[in-house]
Structure formats: C-alpha cells, structure tokens
Amino acid sequence: MSAGWASGLPKEPDPQPTVTPTEPSPTPRADQSALPGIFDLGLVFVTGKGGVGKTTIAGGLALAAAQQGKRVLVCEADSKGDLSSLFEVAPTTFDARQVTDGVWAMSMDTEASLREYLKLNLKIPIMGRIGPLAKAFDFVATAAPGVREILTVGKLCYEVRERNYDLVVVDAAASGHIVSQLAAPQAINELVKVGLIRTQTDWMLDILSNPWKTGLVAVTTPEEMPVSETLELAARVAAETTVRLAGVVVNRVLPELFGHSEEAVFEELRQPAAVGAMSEAAGGDVEPVLEGARLAVTMRRTRSAHLERLRSGLDPSTPVLLLPYLFSRTYGLRTTGQVAAALTEELGV
Amino acid sequence: MASSERRAKSSAPAGGGEPRQRGRAAGWRAPRGSLDGLVASREIVIACGPGGVGKTTTAAAIAAMAACHHGGRVLVVTVDPAKRLADALGLSGIGNTETRIPDSVFEAAGFTPRGELWAAMLDMKESWDALVRRHAPDAETREQILANPLYKTISGRFVQSQDYMAMERLYEIHSEGKYDLIVVDTPPTRNALDFLDAPQRMADFFSSRLLRWLIVPYRSKLINFASKPFYQVADRILGTQFLADISEFFILFQSMYDGFVARAETVTRLLSDRRTTFVVISTLEATPVREAEFFATELVRRDLNLGAIVLNKVLPSYFRSTKNISVAKTMAERAKDLVERLDVDRPLAARVLSDVAESFLNFSVVARREAEQQDELSTSAEVLATVPFFDADIADMEGLLRLGEKLWT
C-alpha cells in the first residue's frame, strides 16, 4: 500500500478521475442534505480542541465504517501513539498495517513521505543524501508554511485517488491548526506557479474541494471552550478552505438521569427524614450517593446549555452526532467498539 | 500573607446552592507545600500542560490569587482565554498592551485586592513586528522585512513561533522589572515541550548551514560545490521563483542573526533560573495524564523547577469511598425495600433510587480510575493541587477566585 504514493504523478498527466461521471458537478458549499454521509466519503479529517477525544472518535469512525464492510485506512497525523492503544496493537508506522478486520493504520511521517516522494519523482539515490535533504526540507517547510502539508496531506489524497481504500480517516491536527493545513494546498498553489509541487496541489485540490469525496468532522464536548472553538472552526473552514464540514461529533454527553416527575421525587428523597429512613434500611449513609446524583444532574444541565449553543450556532444542515459518556475502566479495543457502535447508531446506517 | 479578614472574604464553597462559608479560623496559614507558598517565593510561574485542561483559566486564577493575597504587581500573559471570561475581565482586544484589571472587577466579586492585577494577550503579528524592530541592523532592512510579502504570511503562521514569542515576551517583560510576579500561560502546541526548545530552535534556524546554502546562489553567481545538489533538487521541487522569494526573505532575516542567538541564550537561562517555576496542569483523563506525566519527567530531566502539578475537574472523593460504593450497591438492589416506609410515590421513588445508585456506581468507576492516575502523577512535584468539577463555567472574577481558593489550599 505504501509502495509509492507519488508514483502516479509523472505517469498521469490528466489527474481528473477523482470525480466519477455519475456525480453532480461539485460546488464547494452544496446543500448538505443532498450530500453523502460520513461513511460514504473517501477522505475524512477528524479534528477538535485538545482533550475532547479526537483520536478516539477517529478510531471509532474507522472501526464503524469497517463494520459496514468498507476497507478503511486510519492515519494518525501527529504520532503520539494513541491510535495504536485504541486497537491494542504495536505503535503505528508510516507503512500501513492491518489492525483489525477492514482497518489498516499508519502514522504520518514527513521525512518518510519526502523519502518516497524523492525516490519516485526525482530518482534520487536515497542512501547518504536523505539526511541533509530532509533537514533542508524541514528548513524550507518551516519557512514556508504549507510545504509540509503538500507531502502529508498529499500522501492521504494519493491513497484516495488510487482507491487503495474505500475510506481514509485522518486523526488530524487540533482545531487550532487544521484550517491552515487544509488551506495549505490552495495557498501553495497561489505561491508556486511551476514545478512538481504545483502539479501536485492541482490534483490535491480536486479531491479536497469535492464535497462528495472529502469531509471534515469536528469533535467537541458539551463544554464552554470546546463548543466556542467548534463554532469558530466552522466559520473559518467555510471562509478559508474548500473543505466541507461533514459533521460535528459531541463526545462525552452525560445521560439524562431523570425527567420532571422523577426529579420531584428525588427532591423528596433528599429530605432529612427520608435520608434517615433509607440509611437505616440500607445499613449505611445514603447521603453521598444522593449527592453524587445531584452533581450528575447539575453537570448535565450545564452541558445541555452548551449543546444548545452549539446547535443554534451551526448551519442547520450540519449533522450533529451525540456520543454518550463512557463510564469505562480503561481504554482499548473494547471501548473503541463501544464508540463505533454509538457512532453507527447516530449515523443511522 | 493576607490578613485573615481578606482571605475570608474570598473563600467560597465549590458547589452552588450552599450558603457561602464566611470566615476561617484566625491564624490560618498555608500548609507546607502549598501553591500559595510556591507562588509567593517566585518571580515567574509558567503554566504548561496538554490542551483542553483549563490551563488558561488556571493561570488567570493563580495570578488573581497572588494579586489578592500577596500584593504587589502581578501580570498574567495569556494566549486565548474563554470569551466570556475575557469579556468579564475587560481583556477583549487588548493585544500585547499590558492592561490593568480595575479594582472594581475584584470588588464586584466581594474582594479588595492587596496588589494590582495586570494582563496582556499574545498577539503574534505585533510580537513579530516588535522583534524585527529590535533586531534589524538598520532602518532600511527593517522596512524591507516588514514589507516583504513572505514575512507577512510567516509572521501570522510561522510554525511554532507562538512558543518562541511567549518566551520572548516573558523575557522582555521580566527584564523591565515592572512586575513582582509574572504568570505565563503557554500556547497550545502539538507537543507540550515545544516552547522549552523554542528559543534554541529559533537560534539554530538562523544559524543553519542550509540557510547559507540556500542563500549562496543569490549572493554570488558561483554555486558552491557542496550546495549544488541540494539547490538542484530544491529548484525542481519548488520552482525557481518561489525559491528566490524565500532566499530574499532569509537574506534579510540573517542580518538579525546575532541578536536572535544572544536573545535565545538569555531566555533559556531565565527559564532555568531559581526564580522561575513550572506548574503542570492536567485533568485525569487518560490522554492528558500521559502527556502531563511525560512533561513532568522532562522538566526534571532538564533540571527545570517543577513546582506544582494542578489537576482540574477531579471528581469528588466520596465517589471512591468503598463504604459509599457498597451502600450504592444495596440501593440499586433493594430500592423497593428502602422506600417501603416513605410517604412518596413508591414505585416511582424506587426507580429513581435505583437510577441514582447506578449513576453513582458509574461515576465511581471513573473516579477510581482517576485516583490511580493521580497517584502516579503526584510523585514528581513538591506541590499537588486538585480542583473539583465546578457546577458552572468560570466566567468572571468571582469564579476565578473560587477556583483559586481550591488551588491555594
């Protein structure tokens, strides 16, 4: 699968087949209701503020799509190694490896991407020269934001173009960085008028701007900062990139403990006389347990308000998927399965 | 140390609804190894840790508490506070300018601060421009850089330059000697350690041999033998014009090299000075804990002062008590018996009670997982502060001081 992501470039002068003839002509901001669901896309970037569970959702999405019979590649963009723990496998590498039925995993590595790129496009003998070249590249990439993304996002676009997988899920950069990454091919396209990179940004943009092919999924939690950041992200994605926001996943939604009549009874149960009677019958103080429920109810209420703010701030056609808080002991394949099941249910497939 | 009267004014319980706790025993003193004591003995507090754990709010709370209790002039340099909090403190749109938080903001929270609280945000464009003005060798170079189109793109988006700017600003403000305490909130980065290396990386960047390779073809018509292969490759990938643009930019920037390197070294020294302490902030979720742990280890390895670990959004300890858990199990199993003698809608009450018990047991699972993670983390720092889940978001000075009280004790 990793045998040469850039190998198609010189051989294929007309990189158009990303849009199949049956599809309507792509417009960047097409009506969402006519657009495919997340599982029917070819390339999905998963982003979110730090700490909201971005990697977990990316892994869950990949697993859920695989359970629908798709061949899925899941890629970790900033290799912190969390993806491998979701599937309980050895750390992911640049070369994709199968981690479970229908799911292959890899981690992005700029230097490995560059190595492949050079090997295939420039016929450069790799040994001995890659060190200084990689440094030089690092240097140019630091100076000119966007050059790095041409390689990393380019590798992913390539996998889509070659149809090596049905779906590529990217555990992408956090919401603070994703916009400049997704906008990079366009920015470079404007700066660089000739050369290999120009050719590459042309076909990358064809894939990224196609709402039938590519989508962004923003992960958030029902809390103040994550919701605010998600709304800001939605606005920036629309204004600064050609990528469609295909959905918002709200992670860690607390269950509703009880409705109105139950709450009235709960208040009665919290009266000192009732607490005393129940404690006697239970053989221990029930007060802390009731206090725990009160905290859960208050937490849920605060979070509901943020959820409302999120819904009213988003375009009504953007799907909002709610994922329950997982009261789990640990993280691993079992919880990834729970996330996948919840996502499948929310997506109604 | 603050007088007990002032301290008492600020103390407020964490939960909503309960009556405000007024007063605390006279002569109350911070226990050994408190954040109170740590902050009182330092000039610089650097708040760091993984993203999304309440780092910015915690940094603001530390600064507000120090201004209240220790007095003097306290500055918090912040990156991206929650909008409502920024609005409440009057920070919106202040940019790099250090701005004093008016006493009226404290008074609205029922408090008279002993000192002054100042705040500044980190504006990247302004910071870069200031840097160029400082280091440019002459007015002509300065104007050329500021007008360069590549500079305009880069100053906004330069990879990881936020880290460098945060440290640069810290040094600049500290050397002016205007403040008794500076609390710095570090920018969210992919790797929480990036900002530690930022000054060095910036210096390396400008001293790079590759930079010279890149520039040579434009300086003279002679292409250096060693740089030729690199140049040919770069030319084929990037195209000649783009490369020329980059080179021009770096030729201009290289004139500032000496200034950068000298500055980077001084900033690095300041970070390892005894007057500086690091506070690692995290929650007890699995991923942040792993990052915080790595960060704490790395600080120690680098001989930097890891002053405290602050854990936010910690579930109350009653969820972990084995006695409570066993009562909850009984409640879940025998809900009907327990409401037997009560004067309520018994079938409904039994259902509510068993739901309540199940909910408690669910949270207990999480609380016990968290407790284990807390034990692993707490060994590395001299101070450990835990902050409970708050019912509501922290959106004003009262909320900040409420959080601060939890931190201080």
CATH at B154: 3.40.50.300
Confidence category of residue B267, pLDDT binned at 50, 70, 90: confident
Most confident of the ranges A111-125, B103-117, B223-237: B103-117
Q: Contact at 8 Å (CB) between A122 and B236?
A: yes
Q: Contact at 8 Å (CB) between B70 and B39?
A: yes
Other beta carbons within 10 Å of B22: 9
Q: Is the pLDDT of residue B41 over 80?
A: yes
**Number of independent structural domains in chain A:** 1
Most confident of the ranges A108-117, A213-222, B133-142, B389-398: A213-222
Q: Is the pLDDT of residue A314 over 90?
A: yes
Element of type H or E holding B129? helix B124-135
pLDDT computed for residue A111 by the predictor: 77
Confidence category of residue A40, pLDDT binned at 50, 70, 90: very high
Q: Is the pLDDT of residue B137 over 80?
A: yes
Residues in chain A with CB shorter than 8 Å from the CB of B16 are 298
Judge whether A223 lies within some domain.
yes
3-state helix, strand, coil split of chain B in percent (to 5) is: 60, 10, 30
Judge whether A90 lies within some domain.
yes
Q: Is the pLDDT of residue A12 over 70?
A: no
The average pLDDT across B79-88 equals: 74
Q: Are residues B131 and B210 in the same domain?
A: yes
pLDDT computed for residue B26 by the predictor: 38
Say which of B82, B236, B242 has its CB closest to residue A225: B82
Percent of chain A scoring above 70 in pLDDT: 82
- Nearest-CA distance A187 → chain B (Å): 10
Confidence category of residue B23, pLDDT binned at 50, 70, 90: very low
Most confident of the ranges A134-143, B75-84, B244-253, B288-297: B288-297
Residues 88-147 of B with CB under 8 A from A: none
pLDDT computed for residue A134 by the predictor: 61
Q: Are residues B232 and B358 in the same domain?
A: no
The average pLDDT across A46-57 equals: 90
Residues in chain B with CB shorter than 8 Å from the CB of A196 are 236-237
Phi (first) and psi of residue A322, to 5 degrees: -105, 125
- Nearest-CA distance A43 → chain B (Å): 22
| Range in A71-85, A282-296, B173-187, B349-363 the model is least confident about | A71-85
pLDDT computed for residue A319 by the predictor: 93
Confidence category of residue A141, pLDDT binned at 50, 70, 90: low
Q: Is the pLDDT of residue B12 over 50?
A: no
Which has more confidence, B311 or A136?
B311
Which has more confidence, B221 or B57?
B57
Percent of chain B scoring above 70 in pLDDT: 75
Q: Are residues B224 and B335 in the same domain?
A: no
With CA atoms as reference, report the closest residue to B69 among B10, B152, B13, B14: B10
Judge whether B242 lies within some domain.
yes
Which has more confidence, A32 or B75?
B75
Q: Are residues B395 and B358 in the same domain?
A: no
Residues in chain B with CB shorter than 8 Å from the CB of A269 are 339, 342, 344, 349, 352-353, 356
Say which of A51, A257, A288 has its CB closest to residue B52: A51
Query: Are B356 and A292 inside 8 Å of each other by CB?
Result: yes
Q: Is the pLDDT of residue B378 over 50?
A: yes
The average pLDDT across A232-240 equals: 94
Judge whether A169 lies within some domain.
yes
The average pLDDT across A101-114 equals: 89
Per the structure, the complete domain to which residue B44 belongs is given by 4-21+31-315+389-408
Q: Is the pLDDT of residue A303 over 50?
A: yes
Judge whether B185 lies within some domain.
yes
Query: Are A180 and B84 inside 8 Å of each other by CB?
Result: no
Q: Contact at 8 Å (CB) between B377 and B311?
A: yes
What are the CA-CA distances from residue B241 to residues A120, A198, B29, B150, B215 (Å)? 24, 12, 67, 13, 13
What are the CA-CA distances from residue A43 to residues A71, A94, A161, A164, A274 (Å)? 12, 18, 10, 12, 57
Judge whether B381 lies within some domain.
no
Which has more confidence, B236 or B133?
B133
Q: Which long-range contacts (CB under 8 A, 24 or more apart) does B371-376 make?
A: B371/B320, B373/B284, B373/B286, B373/B289, B374/B284, B374/B311, B374/B314, B376/B289, B376/B293
Q: Are residues B325 and B308 in the same domain?
A: no
Which has more confidence, A327 or A32?
A327
Residues in chain A with CB shorter than 8 Å from the CB of B339 are 269, 278
Please state whether B222 falls in left (phi above 0), alpha (psi between -120 and 50) or beta. beta
The DSSP call for residue B316 is: P
Instruction: Read off the tokens for A123.
Output: 């016929």
What are the CA-CA distances from residue B361 to residues A323, B328, B356, B368 (Å)? 20, 7, 9, 10
| Range in A110-119, A194-203, B159-168 the model is least confident about | B159-168
Confidence category of residue A14, pLDDT binned at 50, 70, 90: very low
pLDDT computed for residue A16 by the predictor: 42
pLDDT computed for residue B275 by the predictor: 94
Q: Is the pLDDT of residue A127 over 60?
A: no
Confidence category of residue A318, pLDDT binned at 50, 70, 90: very high
Most confident of the ranges A26-40, A77-91, A176-190, A245-259: A245-259
Please report, as a single letter, which amino acid is at residue B275.
Answer: R
| Range in A174-188, A202-216, A220-234 the model is least confident about | A174-188
The average pLDDT across B376-380 equals: 76
What confidence tens digit (pLDDT) does each residue in A252-283 have? 999 888 888 899 999 999 999 999 999 999 99
pLDDT computed for residue A23 by the predictor: 47
DSSP string, B4-64: HHHHHHH---SSSSSPPP----TT--PPTT-HHHHHHT-SEEEEE-STTSSHHHHHHHHHH
pLDDT computed for residue B17 by the predictor: 38
**Number of independent structural domains in chain B:** 2
Judge whether B249 lies within some domain.
yes
Confidence category of residue B136, pLDDT binned at 50, 70, 90: confident
Residues 27-66 of B with CB under 8 A from A: 50-53
Judge whether B252 lies within some domain.
yes
Judge whether A196 lies within some domain.
yes
Q: Are residues B238 and B311 in the same domain?
A: yes
Helix (H), strand (E), coil (C) string for chain A: CCCCCCCHHHHCCCCCCCCCCCCCCCCCCCCHHHCCCHHHCCEEEEEECCCCCHHHHHHHHHHHHHHCCCCEEEEECCCCCHHHHHHCCCCCCCCCEEEECCEEEEECCHHHHHHHHHHHHHCCCCCCCHHHHHHHHHHHHHHCCCHHHHHHHHHHHHHHHCCCCCEEEEECCCHHHHHHHHHHHHHHHHHCCCCHHHHHHHHHHHHHCCCCCEEEEEEECCCHHHHHHHHHHHHHHHHHCCCEEEEEEEEEECCCCCCHHHHHHHHHHCCHHHHHHHHHHHCCCCHHHHHHHHHHHHHHHHHHHHHHHHHHHCCCCCCEEEEECCCCCCCCHHHHHHHHHHHHHHHCC
Most confident of the ranges A39-48, A70-79, B23-32, B213-222: A39-48
- Average pLDDT over chain A, rounded to an integer: 83
pLDDT computed for residue A103 by the predictor: 97
Q: Are residues B342 and B394 in the same domain?
A: no
Q: Are residues B255 and B337 in the same domain?
A: no
Q: Are residues B305 and B362 in the same domain?
A: no
Judge whether B88 lies within some domain.
yes
Q: Are residues B80 and B113 in the same domain?
A: yes
Q: Where residue A107 sits, what CATH number does that domain have?
A: 3.40.50.300
Which has more confidence, A123 or A269?
A269
Rounded to the nearest 10 degrees, the angle between the axes of helix A287-313 and helix B346-378 is 80
Query: Are A282 and B331 inside 8 Å of each other by CB?
Result: yes
Q: Are residues B216 and B365 in the same domain?
A: no
Q: Is the pLDDT of residue B194 over 80?
A: no
The average pLDDT across A163-183 equals: 89
Judge whether A49 lies within some domain.
yes
pLDDT computed for residue A145 by the predictor: 59
Phi (first) and psi of residue A41, to 5 degrees: -80, 170
Percent of chain A scoring above 90 in pLDDT: 53
Per the structure, the complete domain to which residue A37 belongs is given by 30-257+304-347
Query: Are B52 and A257 inside 8 Å of each other by CB?
Result: no
What predicted TM-score, i.e. pTM, was given to this entire model?
0.80
Other beta carbons within 10 Å of B191: 16
Q: Are residues B278 and B360 in the same domain?
A: no
Confidence category of residue B58, pLDDT binned at 50, 70, 90: very high
